[in-house]
Structure 1
Amino acid sequence: MDPRISKQRTALVLDQPFFGALALRLAVVEDPSCETFWTDSERVGYNPTYLASVSDLEVRGVLAHEVLHVANGHCWRMGDRDPDLWNDACDHAINPILKSAGFILPAGALIDPRFSGMAAEEIYSILAQEARKREKGKKDGGKTDGQPGDKSGGQSGGNTPPQSANGANTPNATPSPKSAPSCGEVRQYRGDDKPLKEAEWKVAVLQAAKAAQMRGGLPGGLQAMVGQAVEPIVDWRSILHRFAQQVSPTDYSFAMPNRRYLHLGLYLPALHEPAVGDAVFVRDSSGSVFDETQAQFDAEILAVNDSLRPRRLIVMDCDVRVTQVQIFERGDPIDLLPVRGGGGTAFIEPFARVAQEGIDPAFLVYLTDMDGRFPDEAPGFPVLWASTTPLRRAKQAPFGEMMEVIC
Structure 2
Amino acid sequence: MSDSVALEALSRCKIRLRQQHPYFAVLTLFAIYRSDPAVELADTDGRVVRLNADAFLALPDPVATGLLLHVTLHAALLHPVRLHGRNPVLWNIACDVIVNHIITTQTTFPVPPGSYVAAQLAPGFVPLSAEHVYEYLLKHRLDPDQLAGKLSGTQPAGSAAAEPKQPDGSARADQTRSTGLAAAMARRFGGKAAPSPASATAVPSAAPATEALPAPTAPLRDIRPAPAGVGKEAMQLHWESALIKARDQASARQQGKDRSAWIKELEAACAPQVDWRTLLWRFTIQTPTDFAGLDRRFVHAGLYLEALVQERVNIDVAIDTSGSIGPDELEQFASELRAIVSSYPHILCRLYFCDTELAGPYELGPDFKLPRVRGGGGTEFRPFFNYLNRQQGERQVDAAIYFTDGEGRFPTKPPHYPVLWVALPGAIPSERFPFGQVIRMA
* Same-fold call, TM cutoff 0.5: yes
- Listed as ranges, the matches of 1:258-297 within 5 Å are 274-276=310-312, 278-289=314-325, 293-297=329-333
Instruction: Name the CA shift for 1:70/1:134 in 2 (closer, same or farther; >3 Å).
Output: closer
Matched, 1:189 2:233: no
1:250 CA drift (Å): 7.3
1:98 CA drift (Å): 1.0
Q: Percent identity?
A: 27
Contact 2:129 2:268 (8 Å CA) reproduced: no
Contact 1:38 1:185 (8 Å CA) reproduced: yes
Contact 1:286 1:318 (8 Å CA) reproduced: yes
SS at 1:186's partner residue? Answer: coil
1:66 CA drift (Å): 0.9
Matched, 1:104 2:110: yes
- Listed as ranges, the matches of 1:184-263 within 5 Å are 185-192=222-229, 193-217=231-255, 220-221=258-259, 222-246=262-286, 248-249=288-289
Contact 1:127 1:157 (8 Å CA) reproduced: no
Q: Residue in 2 aligned with 1:44?
A: 49
Deviations 1:307-330 (A, max 9, x none): 4435742222323334x6462366
Partners in 2 of 1:278 and 1:224 — Cα distance? 36
Q: Residue in 1 aligned with 2:437?
A: 402
Q: Residue in 2 aligned with 1:73?
A: 78
**Two-structure CA RMSD over aligned residues (Å):** 3.8
Deviations 1:74-119 (A, max 9, x none): 0101122222221111112221111001221134431124552332
Consecutive unaligned residues of structure 1, counting only runs of 5 or more, are: 136-154, 161-178, 252-271
Instruction: Name the CA shift for 1:41/1:238 in 2 (closer, same or farther; >3 Å).
Output: closer
Contact 1:241 1:304 (8 Å CA) reproduced: yes
**AA at the equivalent of 1:384:** L
Partners in 1 of 2:239 and 2:335 — Cα distance? 32
Partners in 2 of 1:334 and 1:56 — Cα distance? 61
SS at 1:366's partner residue? Answer: strand
Q: Residue in 1 aligned with 2:31?
A: 26
* Aligned counterpart in structure 2 of residue 7 of structure 1, from 12, 15, 18: 12
Instruction: Name the CA shift for 1:85/1:245 in 2 (closer, same or farther; >3 Å).
Output: closer
Report the TM-score when normalising by structure 2.
0.66
Partners in 1 of 2:67 and 2:373 — Cα distance? 42
Deviations 1:122-149 (A, max 9, x none): 32233234447999xxxxxxxxxxxxxx
1:366 CA drift (Å): 0.7
- Listed as ranges, the matches of 1:72-221 within 5 Å are 72-102=77-107, 103-113=109-119, 114=122, 115-131=125-141, 180-183=217-220, 185-192=222-229, 193-217=231-255, 220-221=258-259
Partners in 2 of 1:347 and 1:66 — Cα distance? 43
Contact 1:283 1:318 (8 Å CA) reproduced: yes
Partners in 1 of 2:21 and 2:274 — Cα distance? 32
Instruction: Name the CA shift for 1:30/1:242 in 2 (closer, same or farther; >3 Å).
Output: closer
Deviations 1:371-396 (A, max 9, x none): 21123455564433334578865423
Deviates more, 1:91-100 or 1:342-351: 342-351
Consecutive unaligned residues of structure 2, counting only runs of 5 or more, are: 152-215, 292-307
Deviates more, 1:63-72 or 1:236-245: 236-245
SS at 2:34's partner residue? Answer: strand
Q: How many residues align?
A: 348
Deviations 1:276-300 (A, max 9, x none): 2542111223344466654443243
Instruction: Name the CA shift for 1:33/1:289 in 2 (closer, same or farther; >3 Å).
Output: farther
Contact 2:405 2:428 (8 Å CA) reproduced: no
Partners in 1 of 2:143 and 2:250 — Cα distance? 44
Contact 1:39 1:185 (8 Å CA) reproduced: yes
Partners in 2 of 1:129 and 1:386 — Cα distance? 15
Partners in 1 of 2:148 and 2:316 — Cα distance? 36
Instruction: Name the CA shift for 1:96/1:354 in 2 (closer, same or farther; >3 Å).
Output: same
Report the TM-score when normalising by structure 1.
0.71
1:203 CA drift (Å): 1.4
Contact 2:105 2:256 (8 Å CA) reproduced: no
SS at 1:64's partner residue? Answer: helix
1:11 CA drift (Å): 1.3
**AA at the equivalent of 1:101:** Q
Instruction: Name the CA shift for 1:359/1:350 in 2 (closer, same or farther; >3 Å).
Output: farther
Contact 2:317 2:351 (8 Å CA) reproduced: yes
Q: Residue in 2 aligned with 1:317?
A: 353
**AA at the equivalent of 2:62:** L
Task: Mark the structure with the bigger radius of gyration.
Answer: 2
SS at 2:30's partner residue? Answer: coil
Deviates more, 1:18-27 or 1:48-57: 48-57
